[in-house]
Structure 1
Amino acid sequence: MNYNIQTIIMVPYRLLLLAAVVLHTLHCGIAAGASGPMDVEYSWVFVDYTFPSPQHRESAVKSGRFIPENCVILDVDVFQDMSEQTLYYGATGSTPNSLTKTRVFLTIPRIKPGNPASIAEIVPGNRPNSVLLAPYPNWKANVVSEDKLNCDDTIVSVFRTKIDILGRFWIVDVGTLDQFEITARSVCPPKILIFDLKNGDKLIKMYKFPPSQVKELSLFTNIEVDIRDPKGRNTFAYIADTTAYKLVVYDFKNDDSWVVDQAYFYPYPNKAHFKINGVNFDLMDGVIGLALDPIIKNNRKLFFHSFASTRESWVYTSTLQNKSLFENGLIDGSGRFFVSSEVREVQSSVEVMTNNGVLIYASMDNRLVCWNSQDPFTANKIYTVYESDEDFQFPSGMKLVNDKVWAVSCQLQNHFTTIATDRQSVKYRVLVGRVDELIKGTGCDKRSAAIPKGSQNSFAFNNNKLVVGNRRSVTSSNRQY
């Protein structure tokens, strides 16, 4: 395996390419003048990559290996390391500045032909509208050649990722190509890759899911990571198999996994119809949204919901971690799995939860919504915190990083149909908003409330060290560096 990161060198070609990219992308880069609690940090008309040379890019376009309109940004995650500072030169090239190292990663799953890389890192250029994507961890790892494919050394297709509080980058490779085409096919077994972002992007572990845990229709679209000790050895990952309607639990310590089969992960047939900005489509997708609540008495809840659903469910992670419960397939989930008695207004995609127990989820009517888990899941306890028919079409990825929500909107509805879209319009956006500003003035904001008893079984970062103490727990969805 050769996953060592490659250093990207700015060459004159980059400047030539950027000039061409700007002509057809218009708004690519950092958006200006955004209003409301969510600001558009980056936006693209079409995705473009850091090809080694203009000849490489031209060859990729001519051969069909790069079709810009087929490259869809789906998810985002951010790594901020306070222990490492980066020295760089300002616009004048003369004044050094010391900044916290910040890295922004995106997923671009291979749902259609013509995608040269499925996971990438944003590489800012010398001007606001010069944002390109550098394949992660390098170009070689993202090259899919079906004639001579080495599945151990290749990242085929990634829907969503997770960076945990220790700086470990969890990537789930679904192993499929052209998911939205009739030619969809599995070319490699699904696997987990874990990189260490604090130590030169070293590959910590690769785990291939056993064939018995992968169905013909399986699609691992989301992951949540549950750390239970300061060194991260006792860690579990929960992976959503959206199309086989199951959850897979991965035990990092024992390098083992098992399938959780429950009807709670299934879609609701009467909720499979979607309408987004005038586009109608049907999608019978199961469990997709995952979010962990704070640790209380050494236990916590995993909140989850299906895409074709308007209910929220949850289960204690102690249940999920009990492998013996699920060795014989489907069990009676009553008393172990729970579902809300009331419903959302419309379906939801992804969700996150703060260290204060506030669930923030993406509503499929172009809204961002919050609910405090101290309250019943009822309509009068659910609050809209952001809405935009222009900037928030089909929110598909979301993370909490420090005190901010990072989200991706991708207009994915247009890829379910044959509707032609404006080639000059912005299609992909990364939006950022502060949690406090988003929930301010809503019933989700209970910061003056007392900390629940039993929440002392927690850990967080203090002066760049993981410590245990009497404080509200920090979930793996909410990193503090």
Structure 2
Amino acid sequence: MSSFFFAIFLHGLCLANAINFTTVYEWDELDFVWPSEANSSNGQIDQNFNSMDIYFRYMAVFEERLFLSLDLKTGIPATLVWLPTRSTSTAPPKLTPFPSWDLHKKDICSTIQAAKGVETDTDGRLWVLDEGGSVCPSKLWIFDLTNNDRTDRVHQFPDTVVPHSYKKRKLYEVALDKTPDDFLAYIAATSFGQIVVYSRKLDKSWSVKTTRDRWLSLALSPNREARQSLYLIGILGSKVLNSVSVSELKNEGGSAAVEFIGEWTESPYRMLIDSGNVLYAAFYGQNYLSKWNTSEPFREQRFHEVGRLYASWPFTLALDANDTLWMTERNVTEARHKLLKAAVGATSY
């Protein structure tokens, strides 16, 4: 088959598997809901602020709010924000720091320093992975969204689990596992080739050794499966999809055997699984997304493709409890950011 007909064949497959998104918001320029001058003594308003430096990284949804983590860049005053899922205004909404400006103060370790992976659980809690900074160690924050966003738990990782040395740690993504009597968080920790596990019941974290790569992205299969799996992607450049058995992650100080699943066409940086066993993947520097039904042999299927985006991490993804897949899209040449949604007939895992 010639390259021309192969391209047409791939395009046909993409159309056959397409998910129809509608645009919720569109921004030419993102901005914050800034504190009033009387309340700006904490130094959040940075003279170096540049809206072009706002990059969405991870997203979670609960009821009528979207929670997004932002890249920590000079001039960005808060790395955890929220948006409404709908607005009565014709203008797109601004970013509101979560839960307030008071919890975003540089080098004040009782506040959030660098939000990374975010997830919501079925009990209405928001889990936020905070990588910390040069002064502050890494933490896991848990907020009760049903109780005025009250701080439910702040867990500082021990040095033996996540190094307190800034140069020796790198955290990215978090996936939540609801067990009969606990919630466990699985965390991708790229600096030391292990998976970090946190138990809310015990308020304790530990690391599990793996036999292969340093992990960038992870996605948890629905917990109704007899053999629940955590799917893994290595650091940028890796196209290989692996998995480990969740049962092996619950053994403190143990190890987990890594199983090869398949190979993507490009290198993913974000994965997500819905309650129907469909795994969605976004790829570094690419203008499309793919999916795979994990109950079938590995086969990548494109489901969304747009024009050239000129962005390294162009998409973020999240599922809600109402069968909706939410997605942000970054485009450097046109509208800089979009928020889109699509009905997919499945909820978060």
TM range (shorter): 0.7 to 0.9
Please report how far the alpha carbon of residue 69 of structure 1 lies from its aligned counterpart in structure 2 after TM superposition: 2.2
| 1:219-260 Cα shifts (integer Å, max 9, x gaps) | 21110000012xxx4111001113433321111111111112
| 1:67-92 Cα shifts (integer Å, max 9, x gaps) | 32222222222111xxxxxxxxxxxx
- Compared CA separation, residues 324 and 190, structure 1 to 2 (3 A): closer
| 1:184-234 Cα shifts (integer Å, max 9, x gaps) | xx22110011011111111111100001222433121110000012xxx41
Residues 56, 316 of structure 2: 8 Å contact kept? no
Give, as a single letter, the amino acid of the residue that structure 1 aligns with 2:260: V
Distance in 2 of aligned mates of 1:346 and 1:72: 21
Residues 324, 344 of structure 2: 8 Å contact kept? yes
The answer as to 2:220 corresponding to 1:300 is no
Residues 67, 118 of structure 2: 8 Å contact kept? no
Please report how far the alpha carbon of residue 38 of structure 1 lies from its aligned counterpart in structure 2 after TM superposition: 2.1
The answer as to 2:6 corresponding to 1:49 is no
> Which residue does 2:343 correspond to in 1?
434
Please report how far the alpha carbon of residue 45 of structure 1 lies from its aligned counterpart in structure 2 after TM superposition: 3.2
Give, as a single letter, the amino acid of the residue that structure 2 aligns with 1:434: A
Residue aligned with 1:323, SS:
coil
Q: What residue ranges of structure 2 are gaps of 5+ in the alignment?
A: 1-17
The answer as to 2:129 corresponding to 1:172 is yes
The answer as to 2:127 corresponding to 1:207 is no
Residue aligned with 1:69, SS:
helix
Superposition TM-score, scaled by structure 2 size: 0.83
- Compared CA separation, residues 395 and 435, structure 1 to 2 (3 A): farther
> Which residue does 1:7 correspond to in 2?
none
Q: What residue ranges of structure 1 are gaps of 5+ in the alignment?
A: 1-34, 81-101, 177-185, 267-286, 327-332, 412-420, 437-473
The answer as to 2:61 corresponding to 1:78 is yes
Q: Which moved more, 1:163-172 or 1:216-225?
A: 216-225
Distance in 1 of aligned mates of 2:344 and 2:37: 42
Give, as a single letter, the amino acid of the residue that structure 2 aligns with 1:118: T
Residue aligned with 2:276, SS:
coil
Distance in 2 of aligned mates of 1:219 and 1:324: 20
- The residue correspondences of 1:210-289 to structure 2 (distance < 5 A) are 210-215=158-163, 216-229=167-180, 233-266=181-214, 287-289=215-217
Residues 290, 304 of structure 1: 8 Å contact kept? yes
The answer as to 2:323 corresponding to 1:323 is no
> Which residue does 1:461 correspond to in 2?
none
Residues 291, 352 of structure 1: 8 Å contact kept? yes
Residue aligned with 1:408, SS:
strand
Please report how far the alpha carbon of residue 323 of structure 1 lies from its aligned counterpart in structure 2 after TM superposition: 1.1
The answer as to 2:49 corresponding to 1:66 is yes
Residues 209, 254 of structure 2: 8 Å contact kept? no
The answer as to 2:340 corresponding to 1:389 is no
Distance in 2 of aligned mates of 1:134 and 1:62: 13
> Which residue does 2:112 correspond to in 1?
155
Residue aligned with 2:340, SS:
strand
| 1:408-456 Cα shifts (integer Å, max 9, x gaps) | 3336xxxxxxxxx66xx422332222224xxxxxxxxxxxxxxxxxxxx
Identical aligned pairs, as a percentage?
A: 26
Please report how far the alpha carbon of residue 358 of structure 1 lies from its aligned counterpart in structure 2 after TM superposition: 1.4
Superposition TM-score, scaled by structure 1 size: 0.62
Distance in 2 of aligned mates of 1:130 and 1:371: 33
Give, as a single letter, the amino acid of the residue that structure 2 aligns with 1:366: N
> Which residue does 1:132 correspond to in 2?
94
The answer as to 2:140 corresponding to 1:192 is yes
Distance in 2 of aligned mates of 1:427 and 1:242: 29
> Which residue does 1:367 correspond to in 2?
288
RMSD value, Cα: 2.8
- Compared CA separation, residues 62 and 294, structure 1 to 2 (3 A): closer
* Structure with bigger gyration radius: 1
Distance in 1 of aligned mates of 2:151 and 2:244: 31
| 1:295-352 Cα shifts (integer Å, max 9, x gaps) | 34665111111232111111111101111424xxxxxx5xx32012x42111112111
Task: Indicate which of 325, 328, 336 corresponds to 1:408.
Answer: 328
- Compared CA separation, residues 347 and 213, structure 1 to 2 (3 A): same
The answer as to 2:79 corresponding to 1:118 is yes
Distance in 1 of aligned mates of 2:185 and 2:324: 23
Residue aligned with 1:318, SS:
helix
Residue aligned with 1:127, SS:
coil
Residue aligned with 1:319, SS:
helix
Residue aligned with 1:166, SS:
coil
> Which residue does 1:453 correspond to in 2?
none
Q: Which moved more, 1:194-203 or 1:296-305?
A: 296-305
Residue aligned with 1:302, SS:
strand
Give, as a single letter, the amino acid of the residue that structure 2 aligns with 1:308: G
Residues 68, 114 of structure 1: 8 Å contact kept? no
Please report how far the alpha carbon of residue 169 of structure 1 lies from its aligned counterpart in structure 2 after TM superposition: 0.3
- Compared CA separation, residues 399 and 264, structure 1 to 2 (3 A): farther
Q: State how many pairs are aligned.
A: 323
Please report how far the alpha carbon of residue 406 of structure 1 lies from its aligned counterpart in structure 2 after TM superposition: 1.5
